[in-house]
Amino acid sequence: MRALLEVILIALQLYTYVIVASAILSWLIAFNVVNTRSELVRSIWKFLDALTEPVLRPIRNIMPNLGGVDISPVILILLIIFIQKLIVDYLIPVSF
């Protein structure tokens, strides 16, 4: 059971990195730092969007309009941290 929970914790940590990478790439695209006509950039953007959008969309639907500021990745990262804390504090058995 402990091994499965450790794998879940690692997956949640990796997903946090994907969310951060997606947010950074969206800023780079918004400020025209990277060119979306590049095949590499477009494929990375589609990959990150496919991983994050299904989870971020419900959060965006609940959030009020903040005038172009999207804080849904921050809220999702906070939820992931909360889930990680629950797993570590309550589900992983403590061995003495």
Domain ranges of the chain: 2-78
CA 20 – CA 83 distance, rounded (Å): 17
pLDDT score for 96: 61
Contact 81, 27 (CB under 8 A): no
Handedness of CA 13, 16, 20, 26 (dihedral sign): positive
pTM given for the model: 0.90
Reading the chain (96 residues) residue by residue, the pLDDT tens digits are 889 999 999 999 999 999 999 999 999 999 999 999 999 999 999 999 999 999 999 999 999 888 888 999 999 999 999 999 999 999 887 766
Report DSSP letters for the chain, one per residue. -HHHHHHHHHHHHHHHHHHHHHHHHHHHHHTTSS-TTSHHHHHHHHHHHHHHHHHHHHHHHHSPP-SS---HHHHHHHHHHHHHHHIIIIISPP--
